[in-house]
Structure 1
Amino acid sequence: MSLKEKIKNNPSLKKLVHWMLIPSGEAMPRLWVKLLVNPFLHKRGSGSKVRWRTRMDVLPFNRFELGKNSTIEDFCTINNGVGDVLIGDNSLIGMSNVIIGPVTIGNDVIMAQNIVVSALNHEYRDVNMPIRAQKILTSPIIIENDCWIAANAVIISGVTIGKHSVVAASAVVTKSIPPFSIAAGNPAKIIKRYDFELKDWVSV
């Protein structure tokens, strides 16, 4: 049995290790994790940048990867506490975005400002228990290659945004979007698709 499996299968040990990595009731890892663990564990491609005013709630028990020539701008929050955060090559995570894994972002993706991409939900159905004490639910989000997510969009858990699609400003994406589509509104609906025969974007 590996060390990771031993920790997972021993509740007391798991609780101790978790406390060593993150202060109780918080999401931000301890300083020693940021300085002595994460730089050697998580993959960063050549030419990639994480601006210094970004909050990196990145822990060693899930993956964080940033592809080559990709940038995470100031005032973002990146959290892999409940799932991997994987960002491809030549992608831009604009200012003040929040990304909570499990999230996979492809290559050549443009994300504007103030976007929330959260694969995390809270269970709420037991009315005899505070919501904060109920279990956390996750469902992966995938943003495929060559997408543009405009400012103030919200992408909820379980959604896939297909290749070369556009999510309009302030859209709330609750369902998956097929490739080569434009979605807008709350909840977001497809308003245009690319027609390969006409070689043009067509309203739907």
Structure 2
Amino acid sequence: MSITEKLIYEVRSWFELYFIRGLPNGFIGTRIRRIYWKWRVKQMGAKSIICRMAQIEVPVLVRIGDNFLLGDHAIVNPGESKGIFIGSNVSIASNAFLRAANHSFDRLDIPISMQGHNSASIEYDGKEYSIVIEDDVWIAYNAVIVSGAKIGKGSVIAAGSVVSSVIPPWSIVVGNPGRVIGNREKKNIVSKSNEIS
């Protein structure tokens, strides 16, 4: 990185922190952040809300659908990966963390910090990503989503859960590592059949 590139990065980081991310979650702050992130992110749908101090790192590797919510202090970071896909009507709560690249640590002859990164490859909709979150997903407070996670449509990821694998549609996931404890679709079918009888 040249000195000019470093200077541009530094100025943009300060601007983003104090004049974009730090704005209150009111009408004006929310609108300014929406305009800014729509300009920075590779693809971002309509009516998205990026809350105060939320962060989208390497925005050129992130695709976001419509009606997206990123809560306060949440982080979306593709790092050195194939990118992150987030569908429509996805809510990511405060302090959640999405990280699509992992440190490589296979070699013992050099420090881990010097081994670079690796990431999973998930084919979705004709493209490759390292994390895929399908439509209508809720990721709760402090959840962590890492490389290799594919979260199926309509799923709920409970607070504090860690997800690194494929989660079927309509799943309810808890824990570290994240495990499926229920299915929203089956629960809904049971509820409707009870209403009929």
TM-score of the aligned structures, taking structure 1 as reference length: 0.68
> Any residues of structure 2 matched to 1:175-190 within 5 Å, and which?
175-190=165-180
Q: CA deviation at 1:113?
A: 0.8
Distance 2:173 2:138 in 1: 11
Residue in structure 1 matching 2:49, options 44, 64, 71: 71
> Which residue in 2 is equivalent to 1:87?
64
Contact 2:34 2:48 in 1 (8 A): no
Residue matched to 2:18 = none
Q: Percent identity?
A: 33
Gaps (5+ residues) in structure 2?
Answer: 16-29, 121-129, 193-197
Flag the 1:20–1:138 CA change in 2: closer, same or farther, 3 A: farther
Once the two structures are TM-superposed, the CA of residue 51 in structure 1 deviates from its matched residue by 6.9
Alignment correspondent of 2:23: none
What is the CA-CA distance between 1:196 and the residue it aligns to? 8.0
Q: 2:163, 2:177 within 8 Å by CA — same for their partners in 1? A: yes
> Which of the two has greater helix per residue?
2
- Secondary structure of the structure 1 residue equivalent to 2:167: coil
* Distance change >3 Å, CA 197–CA 185, structure 1 → 2: closer
Q: In 2, are the aligned partners of 1:49 and 1:69 still within 8 Å (CA)? A: no
Kept in 1, the 8 Å contact 2:55–2:73? The answer is yes
Cα 1:180/1:49, change in 2 over 3 Å: farther
Q: Which string of whole-angstrom CA distances, capped at 9 and with x for unpartnered residues, describes residues 101-132 of structure 1? A: 21111101111111010001111122221212
Amino acid aligned to 2:105: Y
Asked if structure 1 preserves the Cα contact closer than 8 Å seen for 2:51 and 2:70, the reply is: yes
Note the alpha carbon deviations across 1:83-104, whole angstroms, 9 max, x for none.
7111111110011111112111
Quote the offset at 1:50 in angstroms. 2.0
Matched, 1:100 2:77: yes
Q: Distance in 2 between matches of 1:199 and 1:48?
A: 41
Of residues 108, 125, 150 in structure 2, which corresponds to 1:160?
150
Given that residues 48 and 70 in structure 1 are in contact (C-alpha distance below 8 angstroms), is that contact kept between their aligned partners in structure 2? no
**Gapped regions of structure 1 (runs ≥ 5):** 1-14, 36-46
